[in-house]
Chain A
Amino acid sequence: MLCEKCHKNLATVRYAEVVDGKVKDLNLCPECLAKHQKEAVVGFELAKPGPVPSRRQAASKREHRADLVRERCKSCGQTLGQVLESGKVGCSTCYETFAEQVESILEGLHMGMRHRGKVPHVDDSRARVRAGLQTKRALLRGALRTEDYEEAAHLRDEIRVLEKELGAAEREG
């Protein structure tokens, strides 16, 4: 059998190569094998930069940005543009609606990203349930860390019950 590459010498080696998940069989002569192995893919390469976005694509990207700025909070109607310009939001829901942008603004303004001050002193069942939920969730995290799965399952059940309770209380309120 002649070498499949040069078609001159006798093929003495059967060379199998996996490319893109497909096996390629080659019968080669030693010379061609050496050449081929040099060329063979031996590692990863950085992808070549993709095609430059066309003008239309760039325009649509700009439009997307403009759309983003015009995005409105469903609850109060404040747009993202207004938030970015004034540093003011229209309602508490805005914090969620524009979570990404709000977060990056807050990062620049404050010392941390979590409230550490006082919690409203409300003497109602909802607050108690919420506080209970918080503790249980913290305990669950701890249990998972220490791989105490039995306790974690138990806590998870308790959390589910509390969540239902909270939901019911909120609907009533």
Chain B
Amino acid sequence: MVETLLDKAPLWLAGDGPEASVVVASECSLLRNLADFPFPARCSEEERRSIEERMMDVLERVDLLANGQYCPLSTSLLAGNSSEERLLAERFLAERLLMERRLVAFYQIQAKGPRGRMRFEAPAGAYVAEDQSMSIMVNGADHMCMRVLASGLQLLEVWARLNLVDDTLAGALDFAFDDRYGYFTSDLGHVGTGLKASVILHLPGLAMVNKIDEVDQLARERHQILRGLKPTIAFQIEGVARGLSQLWPKAGKKRSKGGSDARSSPEAKAVSEALYSDWYGVLYGAVAEAEGDLYLLSNTCTLGISEEETLFHLRHLAGDIIAREEEARQTIQQEDRLRLEDRVARALGLARKARLLEFSEALALLSSIRLGVATGLVEDYSIQHVNELLIASQGFHIRMKTGQDCDELTLGTKRADLFRTRFSPD
């Protein structure tokens, strides 16, 4: 199912939105739960299945969602041969930002089920719209996570579309809602509007003049959060450690003393393999850990604030940051032009000649080339060209293309091949 998406570039990568030289994309997601079920983590497999069925039923009936497909995901990580395929599909969707990255790893590691066995989320899936600018994740942390993406700074447009989808679904489903707390969500951090609005920013200028911390501070003062985009590997180690210590507290303690018993159980192995095998994809972490000068700016509060206010504040702050970035780019062009030209030319050279590329390095190259395109130093390629590679150079995109069992070396080679063809001078 997911394979059919592989060769279609998502619409939001087109780089034609407003402020596209700084803003890669705007995204909004809405969390909704059905009134008559507990949240997915507390549902039985049967209950999750009826939730999925109800969702499928709506997808069939609602015209608005007619153009798209439903991709079933991960029935069980331990179910056998098909699991790897499904895992691949999940990661792929997450890399396309059609699913919450963090969710992918964590929704499989749930609390111990009956008799202390690990319980995996059974029926789950994602509806993906034809143009890949909208998705609805079913049975993630919440029953539904609707998400809309658009190129450039288009928060209001994104919200308008998301709002319409929400209204349409609300006509067919009874959402868990309360006058006081608004929309109920499993995470106390999202209750209220259930809205998470974000813009993905490319800030190489501010990074070059060392002003990212200032922007970070600014975001904090205005109750927003700025996070850096980083390759997943660090996260996985952390994720495995945390996951294992939750699942097998005793084993976790032993492991910290040097033993490795935690890894020996088959479940533990499955989890760690699942997490470790995703070598390079992206997720958002601390500002200081950002790679490729990519940052995610999002709102932090959902209760006591309306959707419109949330978007207003975020847009306002994004506008400020864009202005600062433009200013920084101007300064660099005027005062440090040689270094800028050198950086862009080097990146292009590497992209055209390298035989092995790690994802981190690829991100750095793409950042420099994107800056080159934005400042007019590179005229042969468009923002869209760079944006598309940003997605396509991620680990699971490459694995999907080449087949599943490809090791780190093959991945690096394939990535370099991709860069060579996409940036070939002729």
Contact = CB atoms under 8 A, between A and B. Distances in A.
Interface of A: 75-78, 82-83, 87-92, 95, 102, 105-106, 109-123, 130, 134
28 contacts: A87-B187, A88-B39, A88-B141, A88-B188, A89-B39, A89-B188, A90-B38, A90-B41, A90-B186, A91-B37, A91-B42, A92-B184, A105-B188, A109-B189, A110-B302, A110-B304, A110-B305, A111-B304, A111-B305, A112-B303, A115-B178, A115-B183, A115-B304, A117-B182, A117-B192, A117-B306, A118-B193, A122-B170
Contacts of A121: 167, 170-171
Given A114-B180, A117-B182, A119-B177, 17 more contacts: A75-B38, A82-B111, A89-B186, A89-B188, A90-B39, A109-B189, A110-B304, A110-B305, A115-B192, A116-B305, A116-B309, A117-B193, A117-B306, A118-B193, A118-B306, A118-B307, A122-B170
Contact of A120 (B177, B305, B306): B177
B163 A118 contact: yes
A107 B171 CA distance: 32
Interface string B132-145: 00000000010000
B286 interface: no
B195 interface: yes
Contacts of B305: 110-112, 116-117
Interface of B: 33, 35, 37-39, 41-42, 111, 141, 163, 166-167, 170-171, 174-184, 186-189, 191-193, 195, 223, 300-307, 309
A110 B192 contact: yes
Contacts of B176: 92
Nearest to A117: B193
B119 to A, nearest CB: 13
A92 B178 contact: yes
Given A109-B189, A121-B170, A90 B301 contact: no
B177 to A, nearest CB: 5
Contacts of A130: 179
B304 A88 contact: no
A78 B110 CA distance: 13
Looking at A83, A90, A92, which has the most chain B CB atoms within 10 Å of its CB? Answer: A92
Contact of A115 (B38, B188, B193, B300): B193
Contact of A95 (B166, B170, B178): B178
B189 A111 contact: no
Given A109-B301, A117-B305, A118-B306, A88 B41 contact: yes
A92 B180 CA distance: 12
A2 B33 CA distance: 86
A95 B188 CA distance: 9
Contacts of A134: 179
Nearest to B309: A116
B247 to A, nearest CB: 14
Main secondary structure on chain B at its contact with chain A?
loop
A91 B180 contact: no
A165 B180 CA distance: 21
A76 B303 CA distance: 23
A115 B189 contact: no
A92 B33 contact: yes
Given A76-B38, A91-B38, A106-B191, A115 B303 contact: yes
Contacts of B188: 83, 87-89, 102, 105-106, 109
B115 to A, nearest CB: 15
Contacts of B178: 92, 95, 115
A102 B192 CA distance: 13
Contacts of A106: 181, 188, 191, 303
A161 to B, nearest CB: 19
A120 B300 CA distance: 22
> Could you say which of A77, A78, A109, A134 has the most chain B C-beta atoms within 10 Å of its C-beta?
A109
A70 B39 CA distance: 20
Contact of B181 (A76, A87, A95, A118): A95
Given A76-B38, A92-B178, A118-B193, A111 B167 contact: no
Given A76-B42, A91-B39, A118-B306, A111 B191 contact: no
Contact of A113 (B184, B304, B307): B304
Given A95-B181, A111-B223, A122 B186 contact: no
B104 to A, nearest CB: 17
A104 to B, nearest CB: 10
A151 to B, nearest CB: 23
Contacts of A92: 33, 35, 176, 178, 184
Contacts of B174: 122
Contacts of B177: 119-120
Nearest to A91: B38
